[in-house]
A and B are shown apart, each in its own frame.
Chain A
């Protein structure tokens, strides 16, 4: 009994902070999404017009589709890259010391500024950037490629650059916990490297894959900075739509969009969670 009280007391700061800065704000968004507004202020009310305008606008559907497309492409590439990197680290780097060092090498960029990392693509992808210069000097193209920077291509590239790590870490974490005896047993039973990968490692790495997928999909679905910076204003995302509504002071419209986005993201995650119980994996 005393232990339970102590645990409650120890957990209370976390509960309080998340309550005040997560639960109440989301509640506020839900409330405000039913408010009315005009060009200068928001009017406390209970109207469905914000949802009406949102859900019956073709722009909304187009934007959601576009965002889902970004999420799907980014997810697929991150999964491929993240899995390969994690597999190399977990199964092909023999010394634990080297494993830690290489893992840190992958992690360090995560601790630096995302915006700076996006900007740093300009000298690479720009019209006079390194890639165009290189391609032109070898004669592969005779005019600079325009689609490299400020395009959907650049957006996806930046997503993979920023978020591939979200896939590497959980998959690596799942992989290092795979009992090496299982791999040995499969080899002794005559399995080749591919078969071991396909029938032993991938099934056992599934929780990591699920967690990585959830993280990548969640960040891409809510993103607006990358889309704005890397598409040069030529592409849209749900997050960007919200931010634009906010800058026009249409808070209730932004709030309604936020509620819809939250529901969509939660549904996607609930679907992915059916594959794995994350609490068991920590």
Chain B
């Protein structure tokens, strides 16, 4: 790339970008600050002292419903969704490298899964379970509902990945006598590992934060977003913000772990 003087458009555009980032992060920063509101403080500024009272409040079950339980359920569900999304998307990605009967239909089905409104999927799965005489539960109907959201993302990422993946690696492995399974296990998976981590990140975070698709599919026990939603209607103290801070913190930890993992893999490969 040659260096050239910045064009006239650069600074206005950079300013616009800066405003956009402030718009994205500003509100989150505010609630993080306000979650340390003093015991007398309310939902808006000014801060009346600083305390961790609202975080302590969060863990007293009677105050805000079942935070601990719903948090645990959401983490578990997120973990299951992650594993299923990575495995199933990877397999489908391998499959879609050639045409097979129904490949076009399956592709459009996956795209449809992304486009059909979440509340509709939720309603449909809820009704299906009801008609089948089954009780919806977060680990059955809830899991399925979340997968209809994470799998298309996983598949689209795998499409993009395999479009840039040279089959020469596999041919080399085959020439050296590797079985199809060995080729995948020792050649394809290691090369694509960063992308698979990316798919996993989508799987976990989308599931962990999913509300609409959980609404009619979670059954008796709430997942965390359902719990948060319930709180928005009847909690008027900064404990709401404390919850926001904790959930967002967990999301950031997961994102940081995933990105850190990808960077570590890149570095180990020596800039390759």
Interface residues of A (CB under 8 A from B): 3-4, 6-11, 13-15, 17-18, 20-26, 28-29, 32, 81, 84-85, 87-89, 92, 94, 102, 104-106, 108-109, 111-117, 119-124, 126, 128-130, 133, 161, 164, 193, 214-215, 218-219, 221-225, 229, 239, 242-243, 246, 251, 254-255, 258, 261-262, 265-266, 269, 278-279, 282
CA distance A197 to B117 in the complex (A): 34
Q: Are B17 and A14 in contact (CB under 8 A)?
A: no
Chain B interfacial residues counted at CB < 8 A: 98
Q: Which positions 89-115 of chain B face chain A at CB distance < 8 Å?
A: 89, 91-92, 94-98, 100-103, 106-107, 109-115
Tell me the residues in window 24-76 of chain B with beta carbons closer than 8 Å to chain A beta carbons: 24-28, 30-31, 34, 43-45
A22–B247 touching, CB < 8 Å: no
**Residues in A whose Cβ lies below 8 Å from that of B27:** 117, 120-121, 123-124, 161
Asked if B10 and A22 sit within 8 Å, CB to CB, the answer is no
- Complex Cα distance, B88 from A255, in Å, reads 30
CB distance from B188 to the nearest CB of A (A): 12
The reply to whether A11 and B95 contact each other, CB–CB distance below 8 Å, is yes
Known A10-B94, A222-B119: A18·B109 in contact at CB below 8 Å = yes
Q: Establish whether residues B88 and A13, one from each chain, have CB atoms under 8 Å apart when the complex forms.
A: yes
Binding site for A on B (CB under 8 A): 1, 3, 6-10, 13-14, 16-17, 20-21, 23-28, 30-31, 34, 43-45, 84, 87-89, 91-92, 94-98, 100-103, 106-107, 109-121, 123-125, 127-128, 130-131, 144-145, 147-148, 151, 155-156, 159-160, 163, 180, 201-202, 205-206, 208-209, 211-212, 215-216, 225, 228-229, 232, 240-241, 243-244, 247-248, 251-252, 254-255, 259
Select from chain A the residue with minimum beta-carbon distance to B254. A111
Contact B91 A224 (CB under 8 A): no
Inter-chain CA distance A21–B123, complex, in Å, is 11
* Contact residues in A for B97 (Cβ distance below 8 Å): 7
- B183 → A minimal CB distance (Å): 12
Report, nearest first, the 4 A-B pairs whose CB atoms are least far apart: A222-B117, A25-B124, A120-B27, A21-B144
Partner of B148, one of A18, A32, A94, A221: A18
Give 7 new A-B contacts, CB below 8 A, not counting A7-B98, A113-B251: A18-B110, A18-B151, A84-B13, A89-B17, A225-B211, A255-B123, A261-B120
From DSSP, what is the main secondary structure of chain A's interface residues?
helix
Q: How far is the CB of B64 from chain A (nearest CB, A)?
A: 14
Question: What A residues does B247 contact at CB under 8 A?
Answer: 112-113, 116
Question: Taking the nearest CB of chain B, how far is it from the CB of A137, in angstroms?
Answer: 12
- For the complex, give the distance between the alpha carbons of A225 and B128 in Å: 23
Residues of A contacting B96 in the complex (Cβ-Cβ under 8 angstroms): 7, 11
Most chain B CB within 10 A, of A29, A92, A94, A111, is at: A111
What residues on B are CB-neighbors of A214 within 8 Å?
115
Residues of B within 8 A of A119 (CB): 31, 228, 232, 240-241, 244
- Check if B228 sits within 8 Å of A14, measured CB to CB: no
Query: For B91, B110, B145, which residue has the most chain A Cβ atoms within 10 angstroms?
Result: B91
Q: Report which of A8, A21, A81, A225 forms a contact with B147, defined as CB distance below 8 A.
A: A21
| Minimum distance in angstroms from A135 CB to a CB of chain B | 14
Kindly list chain B residues whose C-beta atoms are within 8 Å of the C-beta of A164. Answer: 20
B212 and A225 contact, CB distance less than 8 A: yes
Is B95 in contact with A21, judged by CB distance below 8 angstroms? no
